[in-house]
Copies of this chain bind each other. A is one copy, B any other.
Amino acid sequence: MVERRKPIWIKEATEKVMEYKKRGEGETVSIHECDDRYLYAPLIADHDVPPFDRSPYDGFALRAKDTENASRENPLLFEVIDEIGAGQVSLQKVGQLEAVRIMTGAQIPVGADCVIMLELVKELTEGGKKYIEVKRTLQEGDNISFQGEDTQKGSPLIDKGERINPGIKALLATFGYGKVKVAKKPIVGIIATGSELLRPEDDLEPGKIRDSNGYMIESQVLRTGGIYKKYDNCADDLETLYQAMKTALEECDIVITTGGVSVGDFDYLPEIYQRLGAKLLFNKIAMRPGSVTSCAEINGQLLFGLSGNPSACYVGFELFVKPYLRYWMHSDRPYTRFITGVLKSDFPKPNPFTRFVRGKLSYAGGTVYAEPVGLDKSGVVTSIAWADCLIVLPGGTRGYGEKDEVDLILLEDQQGSEVPWQEKKLSKL
């Protein structure tokens, strides 16, 4: 009954999953609903920025050549022939020794070719007419933001597949995207398996525990930008689980099960994959936790079998499911982002397998540090809650010590990576 499984490298497992990557469809939403969605098409400037020659300051627009002889000793008077606010356009043409009072952002009136700042002039009224005293020379173009100097109409500003943050939303508004084409959210089916599983609202019973993985995955799916469909927990019963999987495959884009993947007698997943006619991509990975992560494919649809162990389940999602979903939503940086940082603790015991230790980032003097969370017993329960990174300790014959440089997978990152984390050296497994 005990099945022998052949472990593969994380690199291979990632490649096998991404062999089946696909881009999902798009849909159009109101700009008010676009936050955190992925752009389905590049964001294009629909006009020049600035859209017209404008003033970056409150001041007076005038002709530079009229200031040629202005100086402290020789202040020149300009007649203020109009005042315009932002959004207004002066109908006056600025002539010799004339000026138009102009607000920040307002369009430069015809005839004027420079702006003098409000603070640099003295305002006077004489005989019911307004004047300003100018005591310096100006050059043509002084204090003018020229049409198109920042961005020209038609320029692509943001690539498709970028996730919409406050800055991108501002650009969408600026460039007339009252409606935004975004990637449709992939629907992720979630089935927690195991006869021991209760729901959060159930009272505890002897021998049973409440399902937590299903809820954790809900949250991971949402954080990635997908939506989920959660099915009832499945007891370890072949027929029930088979039916649930069939339904989920029809209703969802991908299906995640948690539990039922180890080699225990009651783990029916291998048999169900077979009955469904799914092709097994892998069922063991050389990593800890998460070694029993599995993935199967049927008609291009993926079934992820994550471990019933919460940490293993969590890691399995971040490494294998998330990139698949981000790619689906057109991201070109689908993989979980990783950086290098410095260890704050010793891990003296060598381990043949690559380990992903739940860690917490800290920063001091320009250096990124990471230390494991959950070293005390109660931390075992809360370590996923506190972790903001996974400390990657590659498998091998040596342990790791404080101050060693290690890779850190960022859990709260939304930017992603073009390349996946993978083993630097592949020996024989």
Contact = CB atoms under 8 A, between A and B. Distances in A.
B195 A85 contact: yes
Contacts of A308: 104-105
Contact of A52 (B206, B218, B219, B377): B206
Given A87-B194, A340-B366, A204 B157 contact: no
Contacts of A278: none
Given A87-B208, A168-B385, A218-B35, A58 B178 contact: no
A84 B264 CA distance: 11
B2 A118 contact: yes
Interface stretch (A11-19, A241-249, A407-415): A407-415
Contact of A150 (B51, B217, B367, B381): B381
Contacts of A386: 167
A253 B363 CA distance: 35
Nearest to A171: B385
Given A87-B207, A106-B196, A218 B32 contact: yes
A149 interface: yes
B151 A381 contact: yes
A201 interface: yes
B264 A378 contact: no
Given A52-B207, A165-B219, 13 more contacts: A31-B215, A32-B215, A58-B263, A58-B264, A88-B195, A103-B266, A106-B207, A151-B381, A157-B382, A170-B219, A170-B384, A173-B214, A367-B367
Interface of A: 2, 31-32, 35-36, 45, 47, 49, 51-52, 58, 83-89, 101, 103-107, 118, 149-151, 155, 157-158, 162, 164-179, 194-197, 199-204, 206-220, 222-223, 230, 235-236, 262-266, 308, 310, 314, 339-342, 363-368, 377-378, 380-388, 405, 412-415
23 contacts: A32-B218, A36-B222, A49-B381, A58-B265, A85-B266, A87-B235, A105-B308, A150-B380, A157-B382, A165-B385, A167-B382, A167-B385, A169-B215, A170-B385, A173-B200, A174-B209, A175-B200, A176-B200, A176-B210, A342-B366, A365-B405, A366-B405, A367-B368
